[in-house]
A = this chain, B = another copy of it.
Amino acid sequence: MDKEFVSEIADINLDFPQWYTDVIIKTGMVDYGPVKGTMVIKPYGYAIWENIQEYLNKKFKKLGVQNAYFPMFIPESFFKKEAEHVKGFAPEVAVVTHAGGEELNEKLIIRPTSETIICDMFSKWIKSYRDLPMVVNQWCNVVRWEKTPRPFLRTSEFLWQEGHTVQVSADDAEKNALVMLDTYEQMLKELLAIPVLTGKKTEKEKFAGAVSTYTLEAIMKDGKCLQSGTTHNLGQNFAKASNIKFLNKDGELEYGYSSSWGVSTRLIGALVMTHGDERGLKLPPSVAPIQVVIVPIASKKAGVVEKCEEVMQTIENADIRVKLDNSNNTPGWKFNEYEMKGVPLRLEIGPRDIENGVATAVRRDTHEKLQIKLDNIVNEVNKLLTDIQDNIYAQALDNIKNAIVVTNDYKEMVDEVNNKKVALSYHCGDLTCEENIKKETTIKTRCIESYDTEHKCIYCGKKSKYRVYFGKQY
Cβ of A117 < 8 Å from any Cβ of B?
yes
A69 lies within 8 A of B95 (CB): no
A40 lies within 8 A of B69 (CB): yes
Complex: how many Å from CA A320 to CA B41? 34
Within 8 A of B (CB), among A226-281: none
Within 8 A of B (CB), among A23-43: 31, 33-35, 38-43
A35 lies within 8 A of B98 (CB): no
- Known contacts A94-B98, A99-B94, A100-B147; is-contact A157 B43 (Cβ 8 Å): no
Stretch at the interface among A2-10, A72-80, A345-353, A414-422: A72-80
Chain A 430-453 per-residue mask, 1 if CB under 8 angstroms from chain B, else 0: 000000000000000000000000
Chain A 139-177 per-residue mask, 1 if CB under 8 angstroms from chain B, else 0: 011010111000000001101000000000000000000
Q: How many copies does the complex hold?
A: 2
A446 to chain B, nearest CB (A): 26
- Known contacts A66-B43, A69-B159; is-contact A34 B96 (Cβ 8 Å): no
Which residues of B sit under 8 angstroms from A100, Cβ to Cβ? 91-94, 145-147, 156
Q: How large is the interface on A (under 10, 10 to 19, 20 to 34, 35 or more residues)?
A: 35 or more
- Known contacts A31-B124, A73-B35; is-contact A68 B43 (Cβ 8 Å): yes
Complex: how many Å from CA A94 to CA B146? 21
B120 lies within 8 A of A70 (CB): no
Cβ of A97 < 8 Å from any Cβ of B?
yes
B47 lies within 8 A of A67 (CB): yes
A319 to chain B, nearest CB (A): 13
Which of B38, B69, B96, B156 interacts with A110 by CB under 8 Å? B96
Which residues of B sit under 8 angstroms from A47, Cβ to Cβ? 67
Closest to A98 in B: B95
Complex: how many Å from CA A74 to CA B33? 9
Closest to A41 in B: B69
Q: Is the interface of A mostly helix, strand, loop or mixed?
A: mixed
Complex: how many Å from CA A143 to CA B68? 18
B98 lies within 8 A of A97 (CB): yes
Complex: how many Å from CA A67 to CA B50? 9
Chain A 111-137 per-residue mask, 1 if CB under 8 angstroms from chain B, else 0: 000000100110011000000000010
- Known contacts A97-B95, A98-B94; is-contact A136 B43 (Cβ 8 Å): yes
Which of B101, B120, B141 interacts with A34 by CB under 8 Å? B120
Cβ of A46 < 8 Å from any Cβ of B?
yes
A71 lies within 8 A of B33 (CB): yes
- Known contacts A98-B95, A110-B96, A120-B34; is-contact A67 B43 (Cβ 8 Å): yes
Cβ of A108 < 8 Å from any Cβ of B?
yes
Which of B91, B125, B146 interacts with A101 by CB under 8 Å? B91
Which residues of B sit under 8 angstroms from A136, Cβ to Cβ? 43
23 A-B residue contacts at CB 8 Å? Answer: A33-B70, A33-B121, A34-B78, A35-B71, A35-B74, A38-B71, A40-B69, A42-B68, A43-B67, A43-B136, A46-B69, A71-B157, A72-B157, A73-B157, A91-B100, A92-B100, A93-B100, A94-B98, A95-B97, A95-B99, A96-B96, A96-B110, A100-B156
A33-B70, A38-B71 are known; give 12 further A-B pairs, CB within 8 A: A34-B120, A35-B74, A40-B70, A43-B136, A50-B67, A91-B100, A93-B100, A94-B99, A97-B97, A97-B98, A100-B147, A110-B110
